[in-house]
Amino acid sequence: MIDLELENEIFELIENKGFQKLKQILSELNPADIAVILDDIEEKDLALVFRILPKELASEVFVEMESDRQQFLIEKFTDKELKSVMDELFMDDAVDIIDEMPASVAKRILAQADAATRKVINQLLAYPDDCAGSIMTTEYIDLKKSMTVADAFDRIRKRGVDSEMIYTCYVTDARRHILGIVSVKDLLLNSYDAVIDDIMEDNIIFAHTHDDKEEVAAMFEKYDLMALPVVDKENRLIGIVTVDDAIDVLQEAATEDMEMMAAILPTDKPYLKTGIFQTFKSRIFWLLILMISATFTGAIISSFEENLTVVPALIAFIPMLMNTAGNGGSQSSVTVIRALSLGDIEFSDIFKVVWKELRVALICSAALSVVNFAKMYLIDYLIFHNFDPGRHIAEILVVSITLFIAIIVAKVVGSILPIVAKKLGADPAVMASPFITTIVDAVSLIVYFNVAVLILNI
């Protein structure tokens, strides 16, 4: 936690090259806070300030920085500096950094690692970005079941410094199959001569290297995990996922869903770090698609143009009908999309979902129609004199009936499409509000004009 005053003092010290004092201040701070500062200072000062950090802290700060800043620093580093920073990193962090670098920089980093590390890094890099393998680390504490608690503590002391998560230990056999897990809490609460085999938990929650990383992250939420073992196809322990990475995945997934709900192509950078053109690219795609697809709604209106000139009062209610139905549809689609990603519903629930949405839609559309009728009669007719006095009731009915039908269609379509999308292997969130709205717009207009023709005989 860092306040504005301290931040200003730091920026002043950088400006005035007060590196002695600066070093002292930075050494007291948390790596994540220092990274925020380094992401903000001018490029010319970056390498200078980074170099005054103590070695271990420097690596911890480096991990937290933005990737363009990391790249800038790596390009300034001597080979020795690069090796020193990379040596301190946990394997999964090293892989994440390399993954973001251009090939030439990645190659230079790998050249600093010893052959064994390079092999592991290359294996981890090979996992697709959306699977558990891509977020796991290979550094964990493994135990044998014949060990005693005292042996286990010895092993933790020996391996601990290099392991990201020492509080859950994995008991494996000679072929690296997991037999059980032991928490350090179990170790602490048992006597030193207790045997691991007797105290380990053998009902293990685990994931496979190629499982979807969002589903793996959701397991942390469901089972309150701190770490999760990851096995390969032969059920051999390959690595572990730690809770901090699971949180990042859950947050990224939520951000992505929101972006898709707002017709944005997902970007994975913080808002202010994304360039103008990159932001433009992430937004223009759906705007264009949705704009052009509005040709349909335009065509529908055009084909009823003559009817509209007969009863021009109907034009004024087009936006209200489209928006209300659109809102109703996106309420359903967003609810279902979120329930799918939280694991609250799955494909087999589709009938339960539709049945529920149908009943909710009926009450919603009934309420809206009634309120709309009253509102149109009181405001639009009595105050604004918007309708032909002779058939104002009929005209108001047209709008209310359309509203009733359109909301029901919108909610049912909005709830079905995301579930179907998931079943087909697509991301349910692509079926979010803008997409649904386009369908619902067309449906609302067709219903509107047909009801109008029918009731008003135009």
Near its own copies in 66-125, by CB under 8 A: none
Tokens of 315: 């034009």
Q: Decide whether 138 or 433 has the Cβ nearer to its own copies.
A: 433
- Establish if 311 lies at the interface with its own copies (CB under 8 A): no
Compute the least distance from the CB of residue 116 to its own copies, in Å.
Answer: 23
- Establish if 264 lies at the interface with its own copies (CB under 8 A): yes
List the x/- string, 130-169, binding to its own copies by CB under 8 A.
-----------------------x--xx--xx----xx--
- Establish if 193 lies at the interface with its own copies (CB under 8 A): no
- Establish if 39 lies at the interface with its own copies (CB under 8 A): no
Compute the least distance from the CB of residue 389 to its own copies, in Å.
Answer: 16
Figure out which of the listed residues 162, 302, 347, 382 binds its own copies, where binding follows CB under 8 A: 302
* Among candidate residues 130, 140, 138, 136, the one with its CA nearest the CA of residue 211: 130
- As a whole number of angstroms, the distance between CA 230 and CA 165 comes to 14
Within 381-410, the residues that bind its own copies by CB under 8 A are: 384, 386, 403, 407
- As a whole number of angstroms, the distance between CA 337 and CA 256 comes to 12
Figure out which of the listed residues 50, 170, 317, 381 binds its own copies, where binding follows CB under 8 A: 317
Q: Decide whether 77 or 304 has the Cβ nearer to its own copies.
A: 304
Figure out which of the listed residues 37, 135, 339, 447 binds its own copies, where binding follows CB under 8 A: 339
Q: How many CB atoms lie within 10 A of CB 453?
A: 13
Q: Decide whether 294 or 426 has the Cβ nearer to its own copies.
A: 294
Within 281-300, the residues that bind its own copies by CB under 8 A are: 283-284, 286-288, 290-292, 294-295, 297-299
Cα distances from 57 to residues 6, 248, 273, 375, in angstroms, run: 19, 22, 24, 65
Q: Decide whether 67 or 123 has the Cβ nearer to its own copies.
A: 67
Given the rule CB under 8 A, which of 9-17, 72-80, 120-128, 331-339 is the region that contacts its own copies?
331-339
- As a whole number of angstroms, the distance between CA 267 and CA 219 comes to 25
- Establish if 420 lies at the interface with its own copies (CB under 8 A): no
Figure out which of the listed residues 24, 43, 309, 393 binds its own copies, where binding follows CB under 8 A: 309
- Establish if 254 lies at the interface with its own copies (CB under 8 A): yes
- Establish if 22 lies at the interface with its own copies (CB under 8 A): no
Q: Which residues of 435-449 are buried (b: 16+ CB within 10 A; e: fewer)?
A: bbbbbbbbbbbbbbb
Q: How many residues bind its own copies (CB under 8 A)?
A: 115
- Establish if 428 lies at the interface with its own copies (CB under 8 A): no
- As a whole number of angstroms, the distance between CA 333 and CA 413 comes to 8
Within 201-230, the residues that bind its own copies by CB under 8 A are: 203, 205, 220-224, 226
- As a whole number of angstroms, the distance between CA 277 and CA 283 comes to 10
Q: CA 296, 299, 304 angle in degrees (round to 5)?
A: 135
List the x/- string, 342-381, binding to its own copies by CB under 8 A.
x-xx---x--xx--x--xx--xx--xx--xx--x---xx-
Given the rule CB under 8 A, which of 77-85, 100-108, 130-138, 259-267 is the region that contacts its own copies?
259-267
